[in-house]
């Protein structure tokens, strides 16, 4: 366990300091774990309000590469709220985009609730696929 934790800590440090230097395998682990942790920390909106969504394009591709296309579709559903269906890759600008949404817009709330519920329902599958990938790599 500790050996794995040390490796994971190194991937996180590398991803936070120089994302472009991550190997494909490291990038997949970094992106998927950031998504899982953010959603568990405050729902899908937490993913967008934090730095993980700086890499939403890669995360969608990574989810699909692991056979988790349904989870990728959830991200794309939220992305549809943004101009041109593309959230900014810049954290501050993306937060400003989110802040421009109508707070009392029931459709947005319903969509975010739907995405959260759907993600939580498939979380065991996501975690199992993620763990299998980590074990394999």
Q: Residues of the chain whose pLDDT is less than 50?
A: 1
Q: Give the total number of structural domains in the chain.
A: 1
CA distance 5 to 102: 41
Is pTM beyond 0.85? Reply is yes
Q: Would you state the pLDDT for residue 59?
A: 98
Beta-carbon contacts of residue 70 (< 8 Å; ≥ 6 apart): 118, 122
CA distance 27 to 14: 10
Task: Map tokens 């230097």 to a residue.
Answer: 21
Q: Would you state the pLDDT for residue 104?
A: 63
Q: Which domain holds residue 104?
A: 2-136
Q: Would you state the pLDDT for residue 11?
A: 85
Looking at residue 136, the DSSP 8-state letter turns out to be H
- Average predicted confidence (pLDDT) for the chain: 92
CA distance 120 to 18: 30
Q: Which residue, among 134, 12, 115, 116, has the nearest Cα to 66 in the 3D structure?
A: 134
Q: Would you state the pLDDT for residue 103?
A: 66
């Amino acid at each position: 366990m500790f050996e794995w934790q040390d490796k994971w800590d190194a991937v996180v440090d590398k991803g936070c300091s120089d994302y472009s230097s991550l190997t494909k395998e490291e990038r997949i682990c970094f992106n998927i774990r950031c998504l899982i942790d953010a959603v568990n920390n405050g729902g899908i909106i937490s993913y967008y309000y934090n730095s993980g969504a700086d890499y939403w394009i890669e995360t969608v591709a990574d989810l699909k590469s692991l056979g988790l296309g349904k989870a990728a579709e959830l991200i794309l559903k939220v992305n549809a709220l943004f101009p041109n269906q593309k959230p900014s890759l810049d954290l501050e600008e993306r937060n400003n985009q989110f802040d421009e949404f109508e707070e009392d817009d029931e459709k947005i709330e319903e969509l975010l609730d739907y995405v959260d519920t759907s993600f939580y329902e498939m979380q065991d599958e996501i975690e199992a696929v993620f763990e299998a990938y980590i074990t394999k790599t």
